[in-house]
């Protein structure tokens, strides 16, 4: 343990897709834990596209917003190094949201709605899964699928299906008896989805995307698990059946746009689709799911019904590039993780 640590701060607000140069590496003293606080050493870091909204120059009402120079926000798995709090002991491994830094001090008594750092059992599953299938992305997949009220035999389409949430959502849809159809960018990802057990897949970057989707969902789409918005969603709208349902779990196509994007306005398509099909739309965010979602997922993993691809990059210095690649496109399937350190 040295006296200083690395952290990554916001250097400039993102314009459009985030770039590595929007961030800056700093070397600062390792903090010490005061009364009823704990000192955490980061092991794993998630680069969730969700946090794009926090680095936009325009502050959205009610949403987390960083000032320039603030440490970038992000979900982490950490090891307790020192504890002045009775609920935590050195050596405990916890999941929290301590951001892009090697060490952080947390006050468990002053937790927000997500609660204090969640203690993990390393004997149950690799602790990195707390940032993916056994964490917020898994909860989003589980809860979003639940809002769809799938009937066996229905077709469920999933956008960003090769992502951390989508790759799990498709498998859970199959557990509910659905035909799972994944949408992703590139022939390699389409093949990876089929390898994961998806019943069909379509490449949204291909010129014949609409035909690919129709071939993958020959009976039309009954349920739509949406992580993107944008052109993918507009095509899905055209292939929905009557009485369809949509779970809105992300909108990577619109991150960084504020409330308006470049025209034309596609709201008429939304209204025609909803009125024409009776489509029902619900928003779902991972924090709305509880422990039951994690218990279900753990059971499915141990039953061999659910696999969780992970891609790992090494070192905290790699976080800005990894984060940017989530927006600019990459070839990873599943959850993209930054390995910051080995457990002591």
The footprint of its own copies (CB under 8 A) covers 60, 62-63, 229-230, 234, 248, 250-251, 254, 257-272, 274-283, 285, 288
Q: Nearest distance from residue 269's CB to its own copies, in Å?
A: 4
Residue whose CB is less far from its own copies, 82 or 257: 257
The CA distance from 193 to 315, in Å, is 28
Residue whose CB is less far from its own copies, 206 or 257: 257
Residue whose CB is less far from its own copies, 31 or 261: 261
Q: Nearest distance from residue 218's CB to its own copies, in Å?
A: 17
Backbone angles phi and psi of 177, in degrees to 5 = 90, 15
Q: How many C-beta atoms surround the C-beta of residue 75 within 10 A?
A: 23
CA-CA-CA-CA torsion sign (112, 105, 94, 168):
positive
Residue whose CB is less far from its own copies, 56 or 199: 56
Q: Nearest distance from residue 96's CB to its own copies, in Å?
A: 22
Q: Nearest distance from residue 88's CB to its own copies, in Å?
A: 32
Residue whose CB is less far from its own copies, 288 or 344: 288
Q: Nearest distance from residue 266's CB to its own copies, in Å?
A: 5
Q: Nearest distance from residue 142's CB to its own copies, in Å?
A: 17
What own/partner pairs with CB < 8 Å and gap ≥ 24 does 83-92 have?
83/33, 83/38, 83/39, 84/33, 84/34, 84/35, 84/36, 84/37, 84/38, 85/36, 85/37, 85/38, 85/109, 87/116, 88/38, 88/117, 88/119, 91/344, 92/119
Q: Indicate the Cα dihedral angle 124, 128, 133, 138, nearest 10°.
A: 110
The CA distance from 20 to 319, in Å, is 8
Residue whose CB is less far from its own copies, 106 or 240: 240
The CA distance from 227 to 230, in Å, is 10
């Amino acid at each position: 343990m040295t006296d200083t640590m690395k952290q990554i701060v916001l250097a400039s607000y993102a314009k459009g897709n985030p770039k590595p140069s929007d961030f800056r590496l700093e070397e600062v003293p390792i903090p010490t834990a005061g009364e009823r606080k704990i000192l955490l050493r980061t092991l794993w870091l998630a680069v969730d596209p969700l946090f794009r909204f926090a680095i936009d120059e325009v502050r959205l009402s009610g949403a987390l917003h960083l000032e320039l120079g603030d440490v970038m926000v992000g979900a982490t798995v950490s090891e307790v190094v020192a504890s002045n709090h009775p609920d935590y002991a050195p050596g405990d491994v916890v999941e929290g949201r301590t951001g892009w830094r090697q060490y952080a001090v947390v006050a468990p008594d002053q937790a927000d709605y997500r609660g204090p750092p969640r203690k993990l059992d390393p004997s149950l599953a690799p602790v990195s899964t707390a940032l993916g299938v056994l964490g917020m992305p898994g909860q989003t997949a589980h809860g979003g699928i639940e809002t769809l009220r799938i009937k066996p035999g229905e077709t469920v389409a999933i956008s960003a299906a090769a992502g951390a949430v989508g790759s799990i959502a498709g498998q859970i849809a199959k557990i509910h008896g659905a035909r799972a159809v994944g949408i992703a960018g590139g022939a390699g990802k389409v093949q990876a989805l089929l390898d994961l057990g998806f019943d069909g897949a379509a490449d949204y970057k291909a010129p014949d995307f609409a035909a690919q989707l129709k071939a993958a969902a020959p009976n039309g789409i009954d349920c739509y698990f949406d992580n993107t918005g944008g052109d993918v969603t507009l095509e899905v709208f055209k292939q929905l059946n009557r009485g369809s349902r949509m779970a809105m779990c992300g909108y990577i196509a619109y991150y960084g746009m504020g409330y308006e994007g470049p025209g034309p306005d596609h709201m008429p398509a939304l209204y025609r689709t909803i009125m024409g099909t009776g489509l029902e739309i619900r928003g779902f965010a991972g924090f709305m799911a509880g422990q039951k979602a994690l218990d279900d997922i753990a059971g499915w993993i141990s039953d061999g019904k659910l696999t969780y691809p992970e891609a790992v990059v090494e070192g905290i210095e790699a976080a800005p590039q990894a984060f940017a690649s989530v927006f600019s496109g990459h070839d990873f399937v599943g959850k993209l993780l930054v390995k910051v350190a080995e457990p002591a």
